Amino acid sequence: MPAAASSGLAPVNGIEMYYATYGAGDPVLLIHGGLGHADVWSAQVADLMIDHLVIVADSRGHGRSNRTEESFSYELMASDYLGLLDYLKIGKVDLVGWSDGGIIGLDIAMKHPERLNHLFVQGANISTDGVNHAAAETPVFAAYIGMMAGDYAKMSPTPDQFDDFVTQISNMWGTQPN
């Protein structure tokens, strides 16, 4: 990642949510996919920060953000991101979301459209009917899980709890979004 203009842990919804900002200009929020973390956006941050205020964060339980025992939901994670924007005193953003980040973006767009200028979603689904369970068995997905497990061990405030985290988020994936 490029050097951040600011970074820290924002207290939102009972967690400490890691965030970083880059550049200046119209704000754009980038939300990563499941099991990931903010640093997956490094190439996009480097490009967008030239003329935007870029905001990235680690979703609840992901990367450097902690989690509680509370059940994961896309609505809760959308609330986390809105809480982060409030913490940063940012009213409206352009939002780019990938996979789980896209679902979080859709939730924000449906329930809080006043917080968005634009929404770009990639790889998101609106129900569990769209999930291809066979994809979880592919070598590419297995490599992604392995890479994210390694990153979790390096970044997380609970580095030895990746399996617990995966179990907790998998419960959400089995029933949401809907």
Residue 26 C-alpha from the chain's centroid? 20
Q: Assign 15 a pLDDT band (cuts: 50, 70, 90).
A: very high
Averaged over 8-29, what is the pLDDT? 98
Indicate whether 3 pLDDT > 90: yes
Task: Provide the token pair at 109.
Answer: 């767009």
Task: Find the distance separating the first CA and the last CA of the chain, reported in whole Å.
Answer: 34
pLDDT digits (tens, 9 = 90+) for 94-121: 999 999 999 999 999 999 999 999 999 9
Averaged over 48-73, what is the pLDDT? 97
Distance CA 40, CA 88 (A): 21
pLDDT digits (tens, 9 = 90+) for 129-148: 878 888 888 999 999 999 99
Domains and CATH numbers, the chain: 6-173 (3.40.50.1820)
Backbone angles phi, psi at 24, to 5 degrees: -155, 155
Averaged over 136-165, what is the pLDDT? 95
pLDDT at 47: 98
Distance CA 153, CA 144 (A): 14
Q: Contact at 8 Å (CB) between 42 and 24?
A: no
Q: What is the DSSP secondary-structure string of 57-116?
A: E--TTSTT----SSPP-HHHHHHHHHHHHHHTT---EEEEEETHHHHHHHHHHHH-GGGE
Give the three-state DSSP class for 1. coil
| pLDDT > 70: percent of the chain | 100
Averaged over 82-92, what is the pLDDT? 98
Indicate whether 126 pLDDT > 80: yes
For the chain, the average pLDDT equals 96
Indicate whether 7 pLDDT > 80: yes
CA dihedral over 79, 106, 28, 68, signed as positive or negative? positive
